[in-house]
Structure 1
């Protein structure tokens, strides 16, 4: 049976291709959605760009038939812009028709009581879903790019071996086991089934378990303090692994390790021409253009955690701040807002995107497609700490990337769980 999906504006601003994600069902856009898109189109951030993309798609569809009468979609569905069904006469008193959300809600409600097909309101607005439930309207989040966060790939695992197999791993530096396939670049704790105290750390590479190469390395004075940090260093220092994702709570060392390796690769090994660091500027809508001052002065408040880590890494210098300024002047270090990376091709650079959990899947795709030849990109973040009101642990871009990229040979991922900043910080992350 065909279903009818009424789409809220925030779904389209989250993913401008969402119109084409409902297979052969009916897709309804309340007229209020068009008005909201029009209100957002002049913004110079991702929201504004997505609004313009949706408007162009609708304009293209308009050429085939009148949108108010319905146009066919590529997968067999049908899109209609709904001008009617917006009355609130049967609604409880107090709902304000001047509010776009209530007008969208009214369309879903009136379609549900006037038609034979099941009607679902699709919105990323939690409160609107609650209001819909109160009125007896089926409502759900946009699931097309959601991942079950509780089942998120951790990048690690355990395998029990015989003592003979473990000895073979140590002697030959490689172990092929057809009975224990793993994901490319997954880290495995190999344990003896006869003596669990005998173990080894390995990475799964080209069908075999191989020893760690970089786990004991020191980068810019930073060493791994636990096995998960060793796994992170293994991914960060391997130039064949082009996409690295590190997930963990504050204090697990994910950003510090990424910065330390980035400095090592750029300044010591000359493997990359520049260390490019970026993070979403969520509190100000990704647009810093209206703020006074130089780019550095504009970015400083939002990049302060990065500056803190960099100054820690240069703590042995007399004037860490001047050293960082000198590296910036020489083009070896660049701190950039995400909004200015769009449209660029970035070759032979070591890119770090911090707080990547605040990016939507569409924004992650935009960032990844900027990666040029011989560039490595590292994404760090904590999906349990999200500032974007329309993202959660399951729908953010970092979680999405981990799930989509996990089977690729050039990608690696690890979840860091042990806090190393301080005992207080670790307890705060766990208990508060």
Structure 2
């Protein structure tokens, strides 16, 4: 069958929860939504609060695509080209009436929703042969069951997946072997005030991007890429020792990776800082210390807003006593722990914490209530962002208005979501999407500095 022949993509519920407008991302191919998926969305929109918004958006979007069609057209397929908005969908959208399926000798029990979707794929496979019918689901076990039941083509949803292997994820820096100056060749250097800049041939650094850091084995050279063209790369000479002397709110970097992170965190021209790395590498402590330095000491920002992904928070926050900040406290203990570390040597730690909370105007906010806001002149600390999807992170980042800096941190080895992996996490997505954006920087914090026990556990468990 020619590759140009349109295919049929049958979507599982988790695809629309992962990305409500996913049905618009299949170009000229035809999309089919089983009736049972609509039933599950209807149940989720009220019951499962953490994904209720995605369910409601998906339902409204499907209604927009099908609102002017007759029942016969909906079953046959409605052209998606008639739907307004920025998309390139040229295929059709159809609803498959899977409630008409009858129980046969098949091992699939049609009283289970997953089995109804699999049986729908099998029926469509027979109906549209020899055209290719693909079941798309993020549920690994369902993909295995579908293949075992006779579905020929089963795929994960990869439209928002930019890399195939987490080992290829940008770290935000390049470690060069040997002495950089011995291998670089011809260099043009210039002084601008107290800062030194170098221009080297692009052939020396062919694949660098803006705000990427460079270090070598000598522990003397450290620089940052500030620009490039087809012929040259422009480097800002930071100096290894100079970077290791950084400090923020009494915190000094323990290794060059933390120093690179502090350089990005303390730079007001960088609006988005992404910190990745293992547990105990200092992501939260560095972010909080730098935020306090920028708000209280330098007065560049007016407040600190702290939030994180909490899958169960929407269902349980209402039962907790107190204000929104007090309700959020159990989920933001990492922040309060870091505050205690920063002030543990004070004469009265409790008094210091209360003073800093008020002075820096630190606000603990639920992620659910960040939508619809416009945040001005603030630093937003988004912790545990590895559990967010790309669309959820887009929602948060687009809340940031003038003069706002957002710090996203997370550990891709500690994903709690059922439908996310290291390569499909929203954190991975924004690392790749923003890696060459002039107003962003990414740093992977190699090494565990929390304790030797934590480092051993990270490496061996």
Scaled by the length of structure 1, the TM-score of the pair is 0.92
Contact 1:242/1:375 (CA < 8 Å) preserved in 2? yes
Return the alpha-carbon distance in structure 1 between the equivalents of residues 358 and 249 of structure 2. 21
For the aligned residue pairs, the C-alpha RMSD in angstroms reads 2.3
Match of 1:204 in 2: 225
Shift of 1:161: 4.2
Q: CA deviation at 1:111?
A: 1.3
Q: Name structure 2 gaps, 5 residues minimum.
A: 82-88, 229-233
Task: Decide which moves more: 304-313 or 328-337.
Answer: 328-337
Measure how far apart 1:320 and its partner are.
3.1
| 1:23 paired to 2:43 | no
Q: What is the rounded CA distance, in whole Å, between the counterparts of 1:214 and 1:370 in structure 2?
A: 32
Contact 1:247–1:383 (8 Å) recurs in 2 = yes
Equivalent position of 2:85 in the other structure: none
Q: Secondary structure at the match of 2:260?
A: helix
| Farther off after superposition, 153-162 or 241-250 | 153-162
Q: Cα gap change, 1:301/1:267 in structure 2, threshold over 3 Å: closer, same or farther?
A: same
1:321–1:34: structure 2 CA closer, same or farther, 3 Å change rule?
Answer: farther
* 1:332-351 equivalence runs, <5 A: 332-351=361-380
Query: For the residues of structure 2 that align with 1:24 and 1:362, how far apart are their CA atoms?
Result: 23
Structure 1 position 311, deviation (Å): 1.1
Are 1:102 and 2:115 counterparts? yes
Matched length = 425
Is residue 60 of structure 2 the alignment partner of residue 56 of structure 1? yes
Give per-residue Cα distances to partners, 1:162-220, cap 9 Å, x unaligned.
44958968885221113224200001125xxxxx6475011111231112265521111
Q: Distance in 1 between matches of 2:348 and 2:20?
A: 46
- Secondary structure (helix, strand or coil) at the match of 2:76 reads coil
Q: Which residue of 1 aligns with 2:200?
A: 177
The separation in 2 between residues aligned to 1:275 and 1:338, in whole angstroms, is 14
Q: For the structure 1 residues 167 and 65, does the alpha-carbon distance in structure 2 shift closer, same or farther, using more than 3 Å as the test?
A: closer
Cα distance in 2 for residues equivalent to 1:12 and 1:118: 21
CA distance in 1, matches of 2:244, 2:27: 47
Identify which range, 181-190 or 28-37, moves more after superposition. Answer: 181-190
Determine if contact 1:43/1:49 at 8 Å carries over to the other structure: no
Q: Does 1:422 align with 2:451?
A: yes
Q: Does 1:364 align with 2:393?
A: yes
Contact 1:281 1:287 in 2 (8 A): no
Instruction: Please name the residue that 2:156 is paired with.
Output: 141
Residue 370 of structure 1: SS of its match in structure 2?
A: coil
User: What is the aligned partner in structure 1 of residue 435 from structure 2?
Assistant: 406
**Alpha-carbon separation, structure 1, partners of 2:183 and 2:326:** 61
SS of 1:142's equivalent in the other structure is coil
C-alpha separation between the residues in 2 aligned to 1:227 and 1:69? 60
User: Does the Cα contact within 8 Å between 1:229 and 1:416 map onto a contact in 2?
Assistant: yes
State how far apart, in whole Å, the 2-side matches of 1:324 and 1:162 are: 47
> Corresponding residue for 1:80?
94
Aligned mates of 2:439, 2:278 — CA distance in 1: 25
TM-score for both structures, normalised by structure 2: 0.87
- Secondary structure at the aligned position of 1:42 is classed as helix
CA distance in 1, matches of 2:171, 2:389: 20
Show the counterpart of 2:231. Answer: none
Match of 1:91 among 106, 131, 135: 106
How many Å separate the matches in 2 of 1:103 and 1:44?
Answer: 21
Question: Taking structure 1 as reference, are residues 286 and 229 closer, same or farther at Cα in structure 2, changes over 3 Å only?
Answer: farther
Aligned 8 A contact 2:329 2:364 in 1? no
| 1:2–1:26 contact (8 Å) kept in structure 2 | yes
Secondary structure of the equivalent of 1:27?
Answer: strand
Deviates more, 1:52-61 or 1:228-237: 52-61
1:132-170, Cα deviation, whole Å (9 max, x unpaired): 121132222110111322210111114564449589688
**Residue 256 of structure 1: which of 281, 285, 300 is its match?**
285
**Cross-structure match for 1:120:** 134
Does 1:315 find its partner at 2:344? Answer: yes
Measured in 2, the distance between the counterparts of 1:198 and 1:398 equals 30
Contact conserved, 1:175 with 1:209, CA < 8 A, in 2?
A: yes
For residue 173 of structure 2, what is the aligned residue in structure 1? 156
Gaps of 5+ in 1: 191-195
1:296, distance to aligned residue in structure 2 (A): 3.4
